[in-house]
Amino acid sequence: MCPHNPPCPSAYARDHDAARLVAFHPEQGWGLLCNGVVVFEDTGELLPDGRSVPTHRACCAQAA
């Protein structure tokens, strides 16, 4: 249960990345959000049920 007010979005909500960071290990490249989602520095995610969310970085435009 999220102790924050207002509560963090659930792990399955569209805005689940807006949950607060409760553990951060930059030396290992990951963090844990209050809703149980593990976020990785490459923008990939691992949901609490074990499903993965692929990286979703915006593609860089090349200079002409």
**Structure token pair of residue 56:** 């979703």
What local confidence, expressed as pLDDT, does residue 33 receive?
96
Q: Other C-beta atoms within 10 Å of 42: how many?
A: 12
Instruction: Say what the pLDDT of residue 64 is.
Output: 45
CA dist., res. 15 & res. 57, Å (int): 16
pLDDT at residue 56 in the model? 72
1-59 pLDDT tens trace: 788 899 999 999 999 999 999 999 999 999 999 999 999 998 899 999 999 988 876 65
pLDDT of amino acid 57? 65
Q: What is the pTM of this model?
A: 0.80
